[in-house]
Amino acid sequence: MSTQGMVEELLELSPRNVLLGALTVLVAYHLWLLIQKWFDTESPPGPLPWPIVGNAPQLGNTPHLSFARMAQKYGDVFQIKLGNRPVVVLNGDAIKQALVKKGVDFAGRPNFISFQFVSNGKSMAFGDYNEWWKVHRRVAHSTVRAFSTGNINTKRAFENHAISEMKELIQIFLSKTAEEKYFVPHEYLVISVANIMSAVCFGSRYSYDDIEFQQVVGRNDKFTQTVGAGSIVDVMPWLTYFPNPVKTLFEQFRDLNKEFNEFIMNKVLEHRKSIEPGIIRDMTDAFIQALDKGISGTVGVVLGKDYVSPTIGDIFGASQDTLSTASQWVILTILRHPQLQKALQDEVDQVVPRTRLPTVEDQARLPYVMAFIYEVMRYTSFIPVTIPHSTTADTSINGYRIPKNTVVFVNQWSSNHDPKKWTRPEEFDPLRFLDEDGALDKDQASNVLIFSVGKRRCIGEELSKMQLFLFTAMLVHQCEFKADPEFPISMECSYGLTLKPKPFRVACSLRDSLDLLDSVVRLPFHSQADQEEESN
Ligand code: HEM
């Protein structure tokens, strides 16, 4: 055949030729990328991306594990592409190098489409790093402390909310065991955690049958599926233009944010109707009183009354899925290792007599309980990758150049399972957190990476540790848990911002009587002014 004939045949739009053409473009594109990468020694290394989707298909159902595998090949700092967007993934020691040593450079949040829906775009947690964010974070952090770990009185007030709620939870557990023998605890843990934070934030709690509350707090898993690192809609927003599962999930995300924002705004409105000057009943009152006056930052920056709802929304929202997921892992771990349940009970029994319930003051004398909690956090790494970050300036890490506005994923899981840092990281062993005298090894505990580090470090860390301590100590002091022998215990989980265990079934029985729990009386809500007076 003549050359002209061949060209004519190729130009014919037959299926074979279209396929051939597409393959040629694909191969050429890959070669082009390969050549680019070869000469670009300044950018982090990483796998070659595909056109349109980038490396998204390589993340699979467990992106944190895929990232850890890629880190073995490319090093602690590598780069992938999601859709068309370059993403730098930080693993192991590179995390502290970036987030602590170059804190400001890595403190941004990407301009993701999903983030705009959280608190109508006024969220501190999902907002970018700037002067407004600094004031916002300062007021949120100090208020969380003032209602939880600030001093012994605030700790006691928080403890009272937590213990009153644990009483309800244990009663539900007992009645479900009586009805069903083995039951799935998930939804009760969600409501229980939400009620503790509702008491702190709004001064009220909800019944376990309240449908409205169940809806507002029970769909957090949809929220965390969308904002978790590797969520597709943010890097391929064109997927929202035609029907597909990503679009459906995104629409659910938009609707649940709308519903959640309305719930919070109604709470704030109710508070505004009954608030009295100088009296602070709960966190919402505290934010109203502070923000209505305006809180100033650098010149020209004043955070005003329109930030009340977003701030309380950030705190109430951020605490739900995190603490309820942590509680699920605590119970699942106890079921998986019955000998640990016994060890926990033995320690608590030595310190807390059967005539009273555990208190916050017991925490220092219960190192094994704390070691267990740290090991649950390390082993499960149930927030495997933080909320996505972005760079606020052109910067570098481990010698690689990273331009301003690059999306950054922080793989906490990789640090918690790094064999250089942990002996046999794949084993669950609370003893790794105790020193030879049996005291909590604080240095080792501080190596657990689950609340992140640097400028974006979680503001609920201390509150969460106190809450998880009270939860674990109370449960083992009062109850005995058994797994359903017909369902093998699985540590399998579903991925999102939080890793959630697959539903499991449990039976709960009392170790003694209900007398101690019956004696728990909910304290009247303290005003912050009272608390400050008492502590002086
Ligand atoms: C076990 C429970 C919890 C865990 C493991 C956890 C973990 C985290 C993580 C990993 C982040 C993202 C940090 C980053 O992007 O680098 C975060 C942010 C945040 N957390 Fe938590 N959290 C927990 C509970 C709470 C609670 C109870 C509150 C509220 C009192 C809270 C409030 C926040 C807020 C407001 C942010 C955003 C901080 C910012 O962007 O500056 N968290 N948390």
**Does residue 27 fall inside a structural domain?**
yes
Q: Are residues 146 and 245 in the same domain?
A: yes
Burial (0-12, 13-18, 19+ Cβ within 10 Å), 241: exposed
What is the C-alpha separation between 274 and 268, in angstroms, rounded?
10
CATH code at position 428? 1.10.630.10
- Across 441-464, average pLDDT: 97
- Asked whether residue 185 is assigned to any structural domain, the reply reads yes
What 3-state class would DSSP assign to 437?
coil
231 has a pLDDT exceeding 90: no
pLDDT of residue 459: 97
In this structure, the answer to whether residues 113 and 235 fall within a common structural domain is yes
Q: Which of 15-29, 119-133, 430-444 has the lowest mean pLDDT?
A: 15-29
- Write the DSSP assignment of 52-111 as a string of letters: TTBTHHHHTT-HHHHHHHHHHHH-SEEEEEETTEEEEEE-TTHHHIIIIITTGGG-B---
| Residue 129, pLDDT score | 96
pLDDT at 18: 75
Q: Which residues of 160-184 are buried (b: 16+ CB within 10 A; e: fewer)?
A: bbbbbbbbbbbebbbebbeeeebbb
The 10s digit of each residue's pLDDT in 384-414 is 999 999 999 999 999 999 999 999 999 999 9
pTM for the model stands at 0.90
What proportion of the chain, given as a percentage, has pLDDT over 90? 71
pLDDT band at 529; cut points 50, 70, 90:
very low
Q: Is the pLDDT of residue 345 over 60?
A: yes
Confirm whether residue 458 is marked as ligand binding.
yes
59 & 32 share domain = no
For 445, the 3-state DSSP assignment is: helix
Evaluate if residue 48 carries a pLDDT over 80.
yes
| Å from CA of 117 to ligand 1 middle | 18
Evaluate if residue 421 carries a pLDDT over 50: yes
Q: Confidence band (pLDDT; 50, 70, 90) for 57? A: very high
| Same-domain check for residues 390 and 475 | yes
Instruction: Report the range of poorest mean pLDDT among 200-214, 324-338, 469-483, 513-527.
Output: 513-527
Model confidence at 423: pLDDT above 60? yes
C-alpha 83/C-alpha 233 separation (Å) is 10
Classify residue 46: in a domain, yes or no. no
d(CA 325, ligand 1 centre) in Å:
13
Burial of residue 414, with CB atoms counted within 10 A of its CB: 0-12 exposed, 13-18 middle, 19 or more buried:
buried
**What is the C-alpha to C-alpha distance for residues 343 and 19, in angstroms, rounded to an integer?**
64
pLDDT band at 460 (very low <50, low <70, confident <90, very high): very high
Work out the pLDDT band at 8, boundaries 50, 70, 90: low
- Closest residue by CA, ligand 1 atom 6: 451
Same domain, 129 and 7: no
Regarding whether 372 and 271 lie in a shared domain, the answer is yes
Q: Looking at ligand 1, which residue's alpha carbon is closest to its atom 40?
A: 125
Q: Are 54 and 85 contacting, i.e. CB atoms less than 8 angstroms apart?
A: yes
pLDDT at 38 (0 to 100): 67
> Which residues are bridge partners to 87 per DSSP?
80, 407
Q: Does 45 fall in a domain? A: no
Question: Is the predicted pLDDT of residue 439 greater than 70, yes or no?
Answer: yes
Higher pLDDT, 41 or 366: 366
Per-residue confidence (pLDDT) for residue 536, from 0 to 100: 41
The lowest-confidence range among 106-110, 148-152, 474-478 is: 148-152
CA-nearest residue for atom 20, ligand 1, is: 458
> Mean pLDDT throughout 80-109?
96
What average pLDDT does the segment 299-308 reach? 90
Tell whether 48 is covered by a domain: no
Which residues, judged by CB distance below 6 Å to any ligand atom, belong to the binding site of ligand 1?
Answer: 125, 137, 140, 144, 314-315, 318-319, 322-323, 326, 383, 386-387, 410, 450-452, 456, 458-460, 463-464
The answer on 8 and 70 residing in a single domain is no
Q: Which is more confidently placed, 475 or 532?
A: 475
> What tokens appear for 253 in the block?
């995300």
Same domain as 344, residue 297:
yes
- CA neighbor of 527 nearest in space, from 146, 164, 196, 205: 146
CB neighbour class for 423 (10 Å; exposed up to 12, middle 13-18, buried from 19): exposed
Collapsing DSSP to helix, strand or coil, 378 comes out as helix
Contact of 136 with 311, CB cutoff 8 Å: yes
Say yes or no: 232 and 130 in one domain. Answer: yes
Is there a single domain that holds both residue 201 and residue 229?
yes
CA of 511 to the centre of ligand 1 (A): 34
In the reported structure, the alpha carbon of residue 41 is separated from the centroid of ligand 1 by a whole-number distance in angstroms of 35
pLDDT of residue 9: 64
Cα 125 to ligand 1 centre (Å): 8
Average pLDDT over all residues of the chain: 90
How would you classify residue 438: left for phi > 0, otherwise alpha for psi between -120 and 50, otherwise beta? left
Residue nearest to atom 42 of ligand 1 (CA): 460
Among the residue ranges 3-7, 317-321, 421-425, 466-470, the one predicted with the least confidence is 3-7
Q: Which atom of ligand 1 is nearest to the CA of 133?
A: 41
**Domain total for the chain?**
2
Residue 1 shares a structural domain with residue 107: no
> What is the average pLDDT across 148-166?
92
**Bridge partner list, 308:** none
Average pLDDT over residues 481-505: 92
Find the 356 Cα to ligand 1 centroid distance in Å: 32
The domain in which residue 32 lies consists of 1-39
Average the pLDDT over 143-171 and give the result.
Answer: 93
Cβ-contact 337, 375 below 8 angstroms? no
Residues 455 and 495 in one domain: yes
* Position 168 in a domain: yes
Please choose from 122, 200, 287, 322 the residue to mutate so as to test ligand 1's pocket, defined by most ligand atoms within 8 A of CB: 322
Is residue 92 in some structural domain? yes
Mutate to test the pocket of ligand 1, among 458, 465, 500 (most ligand atoms within 8 A of CB): 458
